[in-house]
Amino acid sequence: MARFARGRGRGRRGGRGRGRGSVEGVRDNFAVVSSVNINPSHRPTLDQSSQPQAQTIGIPEAIQCTSPGFQTPGTSQKQLSGSQLSRNMEGSVHPSSVNLNSGEVSCSKSKKGRGKYRSINVEMKTKYGSKITVHIPDDIDRAVGPGARDIVNYCGLTMRSTISFRDGDWATIFAKDGEKMWLKVKEKFEVGGGRGENVLQGFVASTMKRLFRTWKTRLHAEYLRYNTDEERLSHPPKDVVPEDWEFLIQYFGSQSFKAKSERNKINRKKQTTKHLCGSKSFAEVEESLRDPLTGEKAPPDRVWELQHTRKNDKGELLWSDQQSQQIHGQIQELVVQQQYEQNMNPMTGDEILATVLGERTCYVRGKGYGKTPLKKSRMRHGYLGSSLFSAIEGVRQEMQADMDRKLQEEREQMRAEMEKMFQAQMEEERRQMRLEIDKRIQDQMVANLMVGMQQVFFLLCCAA
């Protein structure tokens, strides 16, 4: 059903004067715009402020032009005006040629892009010193929720406006400019959910690293557009300084990079599934399916379906590829099996994905970047547990050794004091014994002297 917009005539408001009306609408998924046929040689001159403002029409990407055969109900044999069409459908249809006599309009299929990101929304949200809160789940190093797109885009802008490719690889670049870029992001964003600032810092670092690779890939595609270095130097990208572009031209032309690029092409061809999430991460898609009442995540088969399907004009579900559909069947079978089986320890969604898709060293298949594989998680938890136990055991042993040392010192001190007391006691006993012996000797000597004197006195008496 088409929607009609009545134009303003030259008569008074509400009058019946003939005006420049336009009819616009959508019928059968086609944008329909019609206007009255006005002779160009007798076109009235109107002030721009008095011209009616046409409503914006959403047009499917597949339909980028109209033909003179389209008509709306209530309008018969009315030709399209090129200027009216361009004014009513600005940004959706771009006429390349107009024939006012025949009404034929040929349209270009090119559409205007979104342009460079300039962080306008972020600046507006943080205009008065407030910060944008982002949510990072415990089980994955990716931002989800309303602020996810803001921080990812701002990380990319900060990275592109700060670093220089001439500094080397990402590790060298981040060692030089990482702190500066982190402080810029920290001024605008904060992590929610009571999580520490180090979680946000780790997310910013990993996001910038990923966006750095993406940017480099896009610049390599720009490099391949031209055949010679002279052409490349004369067409530098707008977001790269000339010195960096010269460095990248030499880097992309090196044999080491070409060999690495060929290996990556071969590995890329081995990819059998393609997602249809667009710029959204897998974590954001999964978070959008979380139950708002219970907070539970959607089953992995539902998440996989949303990541790898789209709907056509008839509302039919189309899979991105046959392999994705087969994987969905295997995941769904495991999910149903877990629901109906009496299992004390049912498999989690990550374990189901790992069972069907297998595991890789860098990430969990079906989860995208930021998710640590299960085995590594368990190993890391075990390592942390053993490290904690070792630390506690070390502290305990140190405390035990300290207590033993103190006890030994006390024992030595007590032994020394007892030895000293024993020596003093022995010395006193010796002194007493010596005094006793001296007294006995003295008494014996006195007794012997008395006996001798008695004998002498007796002899004297006998002689007399």
pLDDT tens, position by position, 395-417: 777 888 888 888 888 888 888 88
Q: What is the pLDDT of residue 334?
A: 82
How many whole angstroms separate alpha carbon 426 and alpha carbon 420?
A: 10
**Nearest to residue 153, comparing CAs of 322, 305, 281, 14?**
281
Task: Residue 350: count other Cβ atoms within 10 Å of its Cβ.
Answer: 20
Q: How high is the pLDDT of residue 275? A: 72
Helices (H), 253-292: 255-269, 282-288
Structure tokens at 231: 């052409």
Question: For residue 213, what are its two tokens?
Answer: 């690779």
> Global pTM?
0.51
Q: How many CA atoms lie within 13 A of 182 on its CB side?
A: 17
**What pLDDT score does 362 carry?**
59
Residues in the chain: 464
Range of lowest pLDDT (16-25, 187-196, 298-307, 409-418): 16-25
Which tokens go with 440?
Answer: 């006995």
Closest CA to 153 of 218, 226, 208: 208
- Say if residues 95 and 145 touch (Cβ distance below 8 Å): no
Band the pLDDT of 304: cuts 50, 70, 90: confident
pLDDT tens digits, 230-271: 999 999 998 899 999 999 999 999 999 999 999 988 888 877
Do 311 and 341 touch, CB atoms closer than 8 A? no
Q: What is the pLDDT of residue 162?
A: 95
Q: Answer whether residue 122 shows pLDDT above 70.
A: yes
Say if CB 173 and CB 250 are below 8 A apart: no
Percent of the chain scoring above 90 in pLDDT: 22
User: How far lies 98's CA from each of 43, 66, 90, 102, 278, in Å?
Assistant: 16, 12, 15, 9, 36
Neighbours of 232 (CB within 10 A): 21
Neighbours of 262 (CB within 10 A): 10
pLDDT classification of 153: cutoffs 50, 70, 90: very high
What is the pLDDT, as a whole number, of residue 343? 64
Residue 383 is predicted with a pLDDT of 41
Write down the pLDDT at residue 159: 95
Rounded CA-CA distance 347/351 in Å is 6
